[in-house]
Amino acid sequence: MNNKPLKAERLDKLLTSLGYGLRKDVRFWIKDGLITIDGECPSSPAQKVTPDKVLLMEKPLDHPYGLTFIYHKPLGAVCSRKEDGHLIYADFPERWLVRKPALSSVGRLDKETSGLLIMTDDGQLNHQLTSPKKHISKTYAVTLHSPLNGSEADTFASGKLVLEDEEKPCLPAELTIHDETHVSLVLHEGRYHQVRRMFAAVGNHVETLERTHIGALSLQDTTLAPGEYKTLTPESLMALVKPTNQSD
Ligand code: URA
């Protein structure tokens, strides 16, 4: 994670890894005088450069030290690169989709779940945000089909609820009841369709599901409309997700 050193690398490798084009495109751009390094035209695509010195068509490079952003996943969008339909990746600039290392979501939300999703090309950050050892909770706003029966909060908090086709019980989760069909649920792990399966296990059905928080970061505070995103550094993201007074 964090502050990547200003490492010098080949100009063509740098630009291709940031998704700008192919090596042959870089040769053309040099020939056409579209690239400058510290104000000078480069002599060769093999020239070693640090990203901060490079301008392409007079513009600085786009997030050359890594790409991390928060995204308001809309209902109906799929967290996949391959499936049919509205894929979350269609909401991002095309250049971001061909960068290396590749961009991926931190965990997934179902097609029918909306809300806060983090996208990053930083494997270490991704691990930090998903590992149960790092204690980053996820909060969901849930609308239920049937009124609560009154025992759900205790069942979810017990650490004994076993989901269908699983052996290991779910970690204790906190249920806050707003009214008989509207609740918030805080999870400390991320299993496949977990919220829907937890309510199915207590005989109910989830009608709508939205992820409202990742740790202390709230979707509401981001002011992002569905489909919108905002880039952050991994450090500033972690500071929002996990304020410094929150222990490990
Ligand atoms: N739980 C679910 O059931 N779906 C999600 O998308 C996230 C958590």
What does CATH list as the number for 137-214?
Answer: 3.30.70.1560
Bridge partners of residue 55, in order along the sequence: 36, 60
Residue 248: per-residue pLDDT: 53
Residue 4: per-residue pLDDT: 60
Range list for CATH 3.30.70.580 in the chain = 68-132+217-241
Residue 243: per-residue pLDDT: 83
Residues 5-45 have pLDDT tens digits of: 578 999 999 999 999 999 999 999 999 999 999 999 999 99
Give, for ligand 1, the residue of 209, 210, 211, 212 to mutate: max count of ligand atoms closer than 8 Å to Cβ. 209
Range list for CATH 3.30.70.1560 in the chain = 137-214
Burial of 172 (0-12, 13-18, 19+ CB in 10 A): middle
User: Which pairs count as long-range contacts for 144-147, CB under 8 Å and 24+ apart, including other chains?
Assistant: 144/181, 144/182, 144/183, 144/199, 144/204, 144/205, 144/206, 144/207, 145/181, 145/204, 145/205, 145/206, 145/207, 146/181, 146/203, 146/204, 146/205, 147/180, 147/181
Average pLDDT over residues 67-91: 96
Among the ranges given (51-60, 111-120, 127-136), the one the predictor scored with the smallest mean pLDDT: 127-136
Residues 176-201 have pLDDT tens digits of: 999 999 999 999 999 999 999 999 99
Residue 247: per-residue pLDDT: 53
Residue 175: per-residue pLDDT: 98
Give, for ligand 1, the residue of 140, 183, 202 to mutate: max count of ligand atoms closer than 8 Å to Cβ. 140
Average pLDDT over residues 103-110: 97
Of the pLDDT bands very low, low, confident and very high (cuts 50, 70, 90), residue 244 is: confident
Residue 222: per-residue pLDDT: 95
- For the CA of 196, the closest atom of ligand 1 is 3
Residues 124-137 have pLDDT tens digits of: 999 999 988 888 99
Catalytic residue list = 110
Mean pLDDT over all residues of the chain?
Answer: 95
Task: State the distance from the centre of ligand 1 to the C-alpha of 195, rounded, in angstroms.
Answer: 5
Pocket of ligand 1 (CB under 6 A): 109-110, 113, 193-196, 209
Instruction: Tell me what percent of the residues of the chain surpass a pLDDT of 90.
Output: 91
Residue 5: per-residue pLDDT: 59
Average pLDDT over residues 70-91: 95
Range list for CATH 3.10.290.10 in the chain = 9-60
What does CATH list as the number for 68-132+217-241?
Answer: 3.30.70.580
**Residue whose CA lies nearest to ligand 1 atom number 4:** 193
What does CATH list as the number for 9-60?
Answer: 3.10.290.10
- For the CA of 108, the closest atom of ligand 1 is 6
